[in-house]
Amino acid sequence: MYSLLDNFIIYLQLQKNASPKTVESYQKDLFDGIDFFSAALNKKDNELLPMDVSHNLMRRYLAQMQQKGLARSTVARRLASWRSFYKYLCREDYLQQNHLAGVATPKGNGKLPLFLETEQLKLLLEAPDSTTSLGQRDAALLEILYAAGLRVSEAVNLDLSALDFDSRMLKAYGKGSKERMIPFGTYAAAALKLYIKDGRHKLSKISQSEQAVFLNNSGTRLSDRGIRKIIDKYIEKTGLKSAISPHTLRHTFATHLLDNGADLRSVQELLGHVRLSTTQIYTHVSVEKLKGVHKKYHPRS
């Protein structure tokens, strides 16, 4: 099983152009399954064969994860990883039959993404001290995460050459290194210009050759973890909900666009979603908001 898994990872990297994080996610999901299947069959993990994993065994694996209290999204993702692996095995003639084809994906739990109301967002965006280099960086970072709906990884990988202030557009590289152009507004432009002219200029003196937009104290590219720590800092400072994460700003971006009349297809393009169904979760957020308004203000709700 392990040698086939290695071949599958190479296929993901070379033919599917999967990002390092996607590859890592597949590996973790598949290794977790191997641990369960080998224990269930009383086999050593390096003796496990693809034909050993039956339809029923996969259902036992899914049930075990649900019993452990794992989120349904995690269970569904692990099943999707194994399905992709077995499709690959069938396509490459390692398997004659896909034993996992009929395994049903667990239904979602209906949990809606967290987003910020306008006043909460304003509080967060105005929290950094723009008289300091790091405060200017943080203000620009928060503004662009909301203005362009960027993923954390996209903000990390954003280079100076990707910004066009004349057209107020930026080039982002999403999952699978897919490129898309995203507009950003005047507030984000002003925050970025101040940061690049002043704060970033001071930070970059340590490392003149660095092309990243967002730098850390050492003058090198800010990391995913660094961005999350920055968000946590301002969540604590403003007293907002502790569950807010960098991705909350992306959720807020999409929700605010739809609430103000944007069409779903346009929001899909801006977010870089492959499937429209992924974007449709935000219409549910808006519907729930309407229900809340109706319940609060209608006399016979």
Mean pLDDT by 10 residues, the chain (301 residues): 90 87 91 93 89 90 86 87 92 87 69 82 95 96 96 94 95 83 95 95 80 93 94 92 85 88 86 79 67 66 54
Q: Determine which helix (DSSP H) or strand (DSSP E) holds 130, and give its type and residue range.
A: none
- Phi first, then psi: give them for residue 159, nearest 5 degrees: -105, 160
Q: What is the pLDDT of residues 238-283, one digit of tens each?
A: 998 777 888 899 999 998 988 888 888 888 889 988 777 777 777 7
Give dist(CA 165, CA 218) in Å, integer.
Answer: 26
Beta strands at 169-173 and 179-183: parallel, antiparallel or unpaired: antiparallel
pLDDT at residue 99, as a whole number: 79
Q: Where does residue 142 rank: exposed (0-12), middle (13-18), buried (19+ CB within 10 A)?
A: buried
3-state secondary structure of 171: strand
3-state secondary structure of 93: coil
pLDDT at residue 141, as a whole number: 97
Q: Which residues contact residue 15 at a Cβ distance below 8 angstroms, ignoring those fewer than 6 apart?
A: none
User: Which domains, from first to last, does the chain contain?
Assistant: 2-91 (1.10.150), 118-295 (1.10.443.10)
DSSP string, 200-221: HHHHTTS-TT--BSSB-TTSSB
What's the number of CA atoms in the CB half-sphere (13 Å) around residue 105?
13
Q: How far is CA 271 from CA 32, 41, 263, 266, 276, in A?
A: 30, 43, 13, 9, 10
Contact between 132 and 126 (Cβ < 8 Å): no
Contact between 89 and 4 (Cβ < 8 Å): yes
Q: What is the pLDDT of residues 204-244, one digit of tens each?
A: 876 678 899 999 998 999 999 999 999 999 999 999 877 78
Question: What one-character DSSP code corresponds to residue 112?
Answer: P
Give dist(CA 254, CA 283) in Å, integer.
Answer: 9
Give the residue numbers marked as catalytic.
151, 175, 247, 250, 273, 282
DSSP string, 275-298: SHHHHTHHHHHHHHHHHHHHHHH-
